[in-house]
Structures are given as structure tokens and as C-alpha cells.
A and B are shown apart, each in its own frame.
Chain A
Amino acid sequence: MRKRKVGIPRALLYYYYFPFWLKLFSELNLEPVISDSTSRDLLNKGVKKSLSEICVPIKVMIGHVLNLDQKDVDYIFMPRFRSLKKDVVLCPKFLGLPDMIRHSLPGLKTEVITDQIDSKSDDIAQFSNHQKLAETFSIPKREMKSALKKATDFWQRYRDLLFKGYLIDDFAGIEELEILEKVITKFENDPKPPQSRDQNLEAPVNEEVVDIAVIGYVYNIFDQYINMDIINKLKEMGVRVHTFSMVAEDIIEKELSNLRKPMFWEFTNKLYGAAEHYLKNDRIDGVIHLTAFGCGPDSMLGQILEVDAKDYNKTFMTLRIDEQTGESHIITRIEAFIDLMRLKKVNN
């Protein structure tokens, strides 16, 4: 029998969980098909089919779903992420995403598999989170559980590398499990540290190396099209880029415990914890809050960070991306930002 094809949209939490899904589908003897990288054409299609007022990441997601629909896949796999921690949920748009897809894309040919993810931690490998998937392909519970176990172990190796300072960008382009496995093994045994931890890094034309924390959701900072490849641009300019995925969970928890009331949104809380950690850290020269047009949780987070950055006397900038951000505007702003930090360093 031919392997059945399951489409995974390359959007939203794909960047966080793709090694888990690649491994899971391979164990279940299914063929994962990943949507194309975001492009002008793909985004335009998404924009056309979504409400004008909704945030860019959702428009991107709809573009990817439409892209998969044309790829001749048997199913589209799109879980409903509800919670990754007790009493904390994700943004309302994540919670309602499958409903939006079902009711606003009536022309969709492919069936969507929607499992609800309710987890106590970032590890989503519980069987209850994958019941619909198991039903759809008549996978026995025991088999599913063993596949989930292998997938989560594999994902954990990826997470550990992220904590060690690797960027999601270092892996995100990979679609084949074999290649991903090789890359992960290579990094695990690599004596050379990743760029974010490299103390011997040299900037072009003998400029000062600076450390910048880029605070933003995985789907904003690692979708190279939507953010005009900002991460690589920074790296080329001799910047050690730090992101929230490098900050250990207990540090984030500690920062969050300083709030009387943490926010309601899982990843916004993660960003808050990481940002506070970076704002206090003397080795970090500046913080960029990279946010997308129409992001609701970020409007709250941004305000808090702006005030806190002032208190900690840290250079801070908000970069907002949308479906029509011009590339030159991003370059101008990050260049000016880096120059400012270098000047500050020289003056000190």
C-alpha cells in the first residue's frame, strides 16, 4: 500500500515542533508533506482568504493551508493548541484556528485532522493529544504511544540544542528526517560553539561585536520571508543573536513569578520571562521586540517591555512586520540600531 500523505503547514508552531512531527509520522509510516516556504504568492493567497484585520501570522497560516490543499495530500494535520501549562492557554486565535479554517475556507478539498492539545508542559506527546490522528489512520494505542515516545525523545534532543544556543534557523529549512538527524548529531558533537555563544566571533571590518536579544514568536523570527531574513542579516553584521528559545525554563519561571498576575498566553509569558532575563543581563547590548501587525498579546507585552527597558536603561526597539513591510526599511532600522549600540560601547 502506498504511504498516505499528511500535509503539515509550515506556519505558527511548526518551527517549535517540526522535529517531533517529522519523527512521529515516520514512525507511523506516514509521509509528511510540508508546505512550501512562505513566498509573495503564498502570502497573497492567504491574505485574500482572511479577514483584513487579522494578524499576519494567521494570514500566513491560511496561505500554507491553501498551499497544501493543492499538493495532493490525503490529510492536513493541524492540531488545536489549547494549553501547554496548567491554567495558561494560547492566544484566542490559536484556540479558534481550526474553527476559522473550517468555516472561512469552504472550498478546501482536503480533510483536516484536528486534535486538541492540552498539555502540562511543552512536551505534547500524550496519547490524548493525538486521538484523532490515531483514529484517522486506525493506529492501535500501543503503537501510537511508542511512536510518540520516540518522537518526543527526538524533539528533546532538538530542544537541548536550542537551550545550548543554537537558533531554530539552523534547522528549520530541513524537511527530511534523515538529514535532520544527521545535523542534530553533528551539532551535538561539535566542539565549536554556536554563534550566539561564540566569544571569538569577529564582526566584518573590525567593528565591535554586539549581543542582541530578538524577542518574538517562533513564527515571526524564523519565517525568513515574513521578517525579511532579519536573523541572518543580524548575524552577517557581527551580532550574536539571542532568542527566547535559548533561555532555560526555570529562568523564565522565576521571572514570571515576579508578576502579580502572569499573562494568559503561553508564548507571551515565555517571551516576557526571556526578555526580562535579557534586560537584566549586562552582556546583552540591546533588545529588539519583533512583532507582527495586529498581534494582540504583543500590544500588552510591548508596553510592559518598553517601560521596563527604560528602567533597566537598555536600548530597546520595536520592529513591526506586516504583509507589505519593505526590506530596506528593516535594514535601515537594524543598521541604525546596531550603530547606536556600537557607539555606546565605544563611549564606555
Chain B
Amino acid sequence: MRLSFPYMGPTIVYAKLFELLGHDVVMPPKPDKEIIDLGVKYSPEFACFPFKVITGIYLKLMDKNLDALVTSGGHGPCRAGYYGEVHKKILQDLGHEVEIIVIDSPHDDYKYFYEVIKRLKGDSSWLQVGRVIKIVYELTKALDEIEKKIEILRAYNDQGTINKLWMQAQEEFYQIKNTAEIKEIKNKYLNKLIKFEDSIPVEAERYKIGIIGEIYVVMEESINNQIEEKVNRFGFEVECSQYLTDWIRENAFPFLGKDLEKIEKKGEEFIEIGIGGHAQGNIGHAINFKEEGFDGIIHLKPFGCLPELVSQSVMDDLSEKYEIPVLTISIDEQTADANVLTRVEAFLDMIREKNYREVM
């Protein structure tokens, strides 16, 4: 099948997955002003921002002769689980004939899930599918490992140099065929990064920011105004609450340990039951970041995000109780880069100042 998918985070992972399964993959365009404008125009006004971005990406892909768009579903109650169904309506209404394949959890509708998987697997045998999944998982792990390094090193080194290495790594990873190559490339780049590690100061002088929030705006830098780079620019290290590896591990290989679940359980102190999205988990991560000695939290969410509005409501209380500064930023089509930069800068200044006073 000739197919594509929404652009989010490490797109090469999805591309690789479908490519290795024998599909003709069209890389989705990276969200930019044009795509966002297009998406906003054809989406409901109060749809959440990721929905609008994805509408834009789909519309941009419409002249590529696709057979299908593949996206993830879910059982809510976060709206993201219903994107696929509404996108179908919108594309149909605009006269585009393309199928949207929604990968739902097998718990919701086992038969449908099985049909979808059978189609996506194509002519590959189940053994091959297993192999492909292994490669993709290893690839994600390697990418996340390097990215975590990057997010630390960028704080103390020339951003351009580090970013260039990161880009090169991603390009090289795109060519891999098996797990041995992944390992090779990973080690190559980890070695290249070693010489930069001298610049990391002693523990007491390191500043760390945890980024939590809705998964799409946390993972997709073209949407979140490159927030990680911005924070790095001021000499602060960054770690996100969500990486794709964790997500795949928890969902596809639950037997590999439940560290993430333990962290997310901590959120019960503020949000008693699961309310959809990652709201409860994010609260857990915020508490966890504090316990690990982070200096501040940046909470990202799309404007009007249902679960994250609940977590934002309890955030003041959390910030006070755990004595950790929190900055919440809502992201939508009107978010201006300068605005985000100013707020981040003021926030980070405040953290340094606070720390300075405490030391004195």
C-alpha cells in the first residue's frame, strides 16, 4: 500500500516500520506555517491544536496519490482517540477519497484490530513482523538515548554543532536495515558526543528542567516552538516526561517492567482517577522530577486540552506543596515565538535567582 501518517516526533520510526513491512511510504511534511494555516481553515474552531495540525498535514498529502493514512486511535476520553473518525468526515466532505486506517486498542474491538493488523502486515510473515517490530523498537531506543544526551549537552555547548550531529544521526538511522547497524550508528554518535561531555559542570551547578504535558506538543518540536532548544540556550538541561520508547514498551511489551506506571501512580495524590490523556501521569512525572532534583517544570498543552486543563488546575497546589516552580504554556496556532521565548527566559531567570538566594 502507498501510505503516510501524521508527523510527530521521530517520524523515521514509523516510516521504517511501514517500509520494512513492504509498504510504499510517503514521508509526511514537517508542520510549518502553511500547513498549520491549511489545517486551521478546515478544522472546527475549538478542536485541539494537534487536530488542526494533522488536518493540515493530511490535506497537504492529498496530491500524493495515497491509498491510506495510518493513525493511532484510542479509547478516550481524550479527544485524540477520536481524531481519525472526524478527519474521515472532513476529508470526505472536501471530496478526497483516501482511507484512514485507525489503529485502535485490541480491547475495544478485537475483530477490527485484527483486520487492520492483517492489512498493515501485507505479505510479510508473522515472523518477519516480529523482526520488524524488534528493529523499530531498537531504533526508537537508540534515538531516544541519543536525544536525551543531546538535551543535556546542548545546554553547555554550541547549539549549532550539537544540532548538526543530531540531524546527521537521524539521517544515518534512516538507512538502517537491521539491529546490528542500529547499534553501530548509535555507538558512533555516542562516541562523537563524548568529547562534549567535559563541558558539563559539577552537579551543584547544573540546572535541570523537566518538560511534561500533552504528548504531541511535548514530542513535536516544530509545534512547540523548539522549547527544548530554547531552554538549552539559557544553559539549562532538559528532560521530557515522555519518550516514544516508554510508550512502546508500556503498550507493546508490558512484561518489560512497569517503571513508568509507578511514576504515574504518584499522580493519584492530586488526580484520583484516570481521566484520559496523560493528565494523571503528568502530575506523577512532575512529582518525580522534583524528587530527582530538577529545578523547575515546564507544562506544555494545546489550547483547550481537556485532560491537561484538569492537571493545570491542580498545578498551583502541587507547585506550592512540592516547592517546585511550574510554567504552563498553552500552544495553538496563535502562539508567537517571541512570547514563548520571553516567558521561558523570565521563568529560568527566576529559578536562577531563587537558587542564588537560597545559597546565600
Chain A interface residues (CB < 8 Å from chain B): 50-51, 53-54, 80, 82, 87, 89-93, 95-96, 98-100, 102-104, 106, 116, 259-261, 263-265, 293-300, 302-304, 307, 310
Contacts and interface: CB of A to CB of B under 8 A. Distances in A.
A93 B310 contact: yes
B316 interface: yes
Given A93-B310, A261-B73, A302-B44, A53 B104 contact: no
A13 to B, nearest CB: 16
A98 B317 contact: no
Given A92-B275, A96-B271, A307-B93, A103 B316 contact: yes
Given A91-B77, A264-B76, A300-B47, A100 B307 contact: no
B276 interface: yes
A297 B79 contact: yes
B104 A261 contact: yes
Contact of A92 (B47, B75, B112, B277): B277
Interface string B91-113: 01100000000101000110010
B132 interface: no
B251 interface: no
Contacts, number: 127
Contacts of A82: 273
Given A53-B303, A100-B314, A264-B82, A95 B273 contact: yes
B44 A299 contact: yes
A299 B310 contact: no
A89 to B, nearest CB: 5
Nearest to B316: A104
B46 A51 contact: no
A300 B275 contact: no
Contacts of A80: 272-273
B54 to A, nearest CB: 13
Contacts of B310: 92-93, 95-96, 99-100
B86 A93 contact: no
B90 to A, nearest CB: 7
A283 B145 CA distance: 63
Interface string B57-96: 0000000000000000101111101100110011011000
Contacts of B48: 296, 299
Contacts of B108: 261
A344 B102 CA distance: 40
Nearest to B87: A303
A80 B274 CA distance: 12
A141 B180 CA distance: 65
Nearest to B273: A95
B77 A265 contact: yes
Nearest to A54: B309
